[in-house]
Amino acid sequence: MPASTSALPVPPAEVADAVVVEALTKRFAEVTAVDRLGFRVAPAEIFGLVGPDGAGKTTTLRMLAGVLVPDAGSASVAGCDVVREAELLKTRISYMPQRFGLYEDLTVEENIRFYADLFGTERRTREERASRLLAASAMGEFRRRLAGQLSGGMKQKLGLTCALIHTPRVLLLDEPTTGVDPVSRRDFWRILYSLVDEGVTVVISTSYLDEAERCHRLALLRGGRLLLCDTPANLKSRMRGEVVVATSPRPRAVRDALARAPGVLGALLVGTAVHLNVDDAARIPALEGALAAAGVPCDSLLRVEPTMEDLFVSAVREAEEAAP
Amino acid sequence: MSSTPPGVASVVVERLVKRFGAFTAVDGVSFGVEPGEIMGFLGPNGAGKSTIIRMLCGLLRPTSGRALVAGLDVAREPEAVRQHIGYMSQRFSLYADLTVLENLRFFGGLYGVEGREFEARSTWALEMAGLLDRKSALTSELASGWKQRLALGCAVLHRPPILFLDEPTSGVDPIARRAFWELIQQMAAMGVTVFVSTHYMDEAEYCHRIALIHRGRLVGLGAPETLRHHALRGALLELVCEPIGPALDALHAAPGVFDAAVFGSRLHVVVASAERAHAELPAQLAARGVRCTGIRTIEPSLEDVFVQQLGAREPQPGSPP
C-alpha cells in the first residue's frame, strides 16, 4: 500500500459503480436460472434487464435486492455486498417486485402512510414526497380511493409511489409496467427520469422490447445468460444487415417472392407489411426487379431502423450459429 | 382479403352502448370487421376495450345498439355466438397441473369437440404447437412460447371463425412471438377474423387495422402504417442534448413544440414544423445553456401517435357528446 493514497486521482471503478455483478449464478434444481452473469451500472443510470419470461430477470433482481442468495459469483449494490451486508443494503435500496404488496382494503393515502412508517420516513418529507409522486402519476384525485378499486395501471403507479416514499440510492423494479397502458407508462417513465436527475440509479426489467429503448443501457438476457450489453443505439448499429420494409396490397406474395432472393437473411409478415432482413440496403433495386418479374405489386421498399425486436432475434440467431 | 365479397363483414357493430348504473363504459361505438382481418384494440386501462369484447363474446348484454358476430345478434343469441368464437388469454386459459393432452381434452369437452373430430383437431393442434412428442408433459413444465401455442390450439379446437386474443404474446420470447404471429396470419389468410387487445406496440404492429378506444369511444381507426404516417399532429424529432433536465424545460417553453419526452439519453420532441425546428431549436437551446449535438427527424411509433391522440382528448367537461 502506498503511503500517500490521497495523491491517487480517482477511486477504483468498483467503488464508483452503483451496481457491480460478477459471475452471478443461481440454480433451482436442475435449471440454471442465472448463469455467470456480469455487468456494472453507473450512478444515475437506468439499466434495463430485457428478455422473455424465464430469461432470469426476476431471479437477478431478487439477488440484487438481497432476498435470494446466489449459488456462485458476487454482487454489490449501493456499496453493499448483497450476501454479507444484506441488512445495510435494505436501507439503501427500494425493490418493487412484480406483485407489490398493496393493501386492497386500505385507501391510496393509507397505503402510502403504511410504507412511510415501514421505511421510517419523516412526517414532513413524506407529505411533500407523496404529493409530488401522486401529482406526477396523475393520481392526485384518487387519494381516498381503496387500492382494491384501482385499475391495473393505477395499482402499479401506487406501488411505485410506495416504493419511493423513502429516498433509495438504487431502485430495483421488476416488470413495473406490465398491464399498464401507454399513457400511464409515460407518466411512470417521467417519474423515473426525475429520480435519475436526483442521482438515483435504476435497474428495471421488462419483457417488452419497445419499452427497453427508454433505458440508458440494456442487458439482453436469454436462458439466464447475457447475450449483449450496450446502449440501445449501439446495439442497433451492431445488428447484422439492414431492415427493409415492403408495403403491398399482397404482403404474403411479397414474402414468398423475396424470402429466397440473394442477400435476404429473413422475411417476416407483419400485419400489412413485410419486414426483410437484408445484408445490404443497396439490394433494394434488385428486390424491386424480382417483384416486378414475379408480377407481385409493391407500393414501396424502404430501409428502416431496426427495432429492438429485430436486434434481439438477430443476436439469438448469431449466438446459436456460434455455439451449435 | 381482396377475395372477400364487398359488404360481407363477419363482425358488425352499430352504435353499441353499455352502461353500468350512471357510468357509460361503451358510448356509441360502430365499426365493421371483414373475414380474415386482424383487428387490434388499443386503449388505456378502463377505456372500454374488454367491455366491448365481452359483449361481442355474448357474455354481456348491450344497453343499446347492435352487434352481429358471424351474422348472429349477440343480445338475442349469446349461446350460439359463443360457439363461433375462440378466446385466448395467455394468463388464464391453461391448467398448469394438467398435461398438454388433458388440456386439449378439457377444452374439447367445453366446446363439444369429441370422438373422431377431437382426434383430428387435437393432432392438428399438437402439430401446430410443435408439441406432438410432448403431449404427456405437464403444462407447467413448458416454456412460455409452447404454452402460448397450446393455448391457441385449445382456443381454436372447435374451428371458430372468430378469435379473440388478449395480450397474446406477453412475456414470450421474440422468436416464439414471431412464430405465433406467423400462425395467426395463416389463420387470417384462411378467413378467420382475429381481434387482439393489447397495450404493446410489439403486438399492435401485426394487426391489419387498429381501433383506438378512449373513454368508451372509438377515437381512431386505421392500418398501423396509416396511423403512424398521418395521425400524428406535427413531426417527430430526436434530439441529443446535454444536460437533459434543462433541455426538457427549454423545449416545453419553446414555441411550436407540442411535446417532449425523454428516451434514454435522447429526447423525442413533437414539433409543428420540422424545418423550423431544425433551423431554430439548437440556438434556442444554446441560449438556455443546453448543448445540442444531434437533431434529426424520425418516424413516429404507434405509441407516439397513441399518446398524442389520447392526450388531446383529456377531460374536457361540457364538450358535446
pLDDT at B314: 52
C-alpha–C-alpha distance, residues B244 and B230, integer Å: 29
pLDDT at B317 over 50: no
Please give the pLDDT value at position B35.
92
**B300, pLDDT greater than 70:** yes
Say if residue B318's pLDDT is above 50: no
* Selected residues 233-292 of chain B with any CB under 8 Å from a CB in chain A: 244-245, 261-266
Cβ within 8 Å, pair A309-B206: no
Encode pLDDT of B123-132 as tens digits: 999 988 889 9
Confidence (pLDDT) at B6: 39
The phi and psi torsions of A208 (rounded to 5 degrees) equal -100, 125
- Given a cut of 90, whether residue B76 has pLDDT beyond it is yes
Strands (E), A223-262: 225-230, 242-247
The verdict on domain B233-299 having CATH code 3.30.70.100 is yes
Confidence of residue B104 (pLDDT cuts 50, 70, 90): very high
Average pLDDT, chain B: 86
pLDDT above 60: residue B257: yes
- A60: β partners: none
What's chain A's Rg over C-alpha atoms? 24
- Interchain contact B293–A (C-beta under 8 A): no
Residue of B nearest to A155 (CA): B45
Mean pLDDT value across residues B50-69: 92
- Main-chain dihedrals φ then ψ at residue A148, nearest 5 degrees: -65, -20
Mutation target among B147, B175, B190 for the A interface, most CBs of A within 10 A = B175
pLDDT at A249: 87
Q: How far is A60 from chain B (nearest CA, A)?
A: 17
Return the CATH number of the domain spanning residue range B11-225. 3.40.50.300
**B33-42, B260-269, B285-294 — which is least confidently predicted?**
B260-269
* A:B CB pairs within 8 Å: 120
Residue of B nearest to A209 (CA): B202
> What is d(CA B155, CA B111) in angstroms, rounded to the nearest whole number?
9
pLDDT tens for A255-310 read: 999 999 999 988 988 888 899 999 999 999 999 999 999 999 999 999 988 888 88
**pLDDT for position B9:** 55
Separation between Cα atoms, residue A115 and residue A163, nearest integer Å: 8
* pLDDT value of position B315: 44
CB contact (8 A) between residue A208 and residue B202: yes
Can you give the pLDDT at residue B194? 94
pTM: 0.83
Report CA Rg, chain B.
Answer: 23
Domain range annotation of chain B: 11-225, 233-299
The residue of A151, A180, A208 whose CB has the most chain B CBs within 10 angstroms, and thus the best one to mutate to test that interface, is: A208
**Stronger pLDDT, B139 or A320, i.e. the higher one:** B139
pLDDT of residue A33: 95
Mean pLDDT per segment of 10 residues, for chain A of length 324 residues? 43 70 94 95 96 90 96 96 94 88 92 88 85 83 90 82 88 87 81 89 89 92 92 87 90 92 90 90 94 93 87 82 69
Domains and CATH numbers, chain A: 13-235 (3.40.50.300), 240-305 (3.30.70)
B61 or B242: which leads in pLDDT: B61
- Who wins on pLDDT, A24 or B174? A24
Ordered strands of the B193-197 beta sheet: B85-89, B162-166, B193-197, B38-42, B209-214, B217-222
Contact residues, chain B, for A214 at CB < 8 Å: 262-264
pLDDT: which is higher, B101 or A179: B101
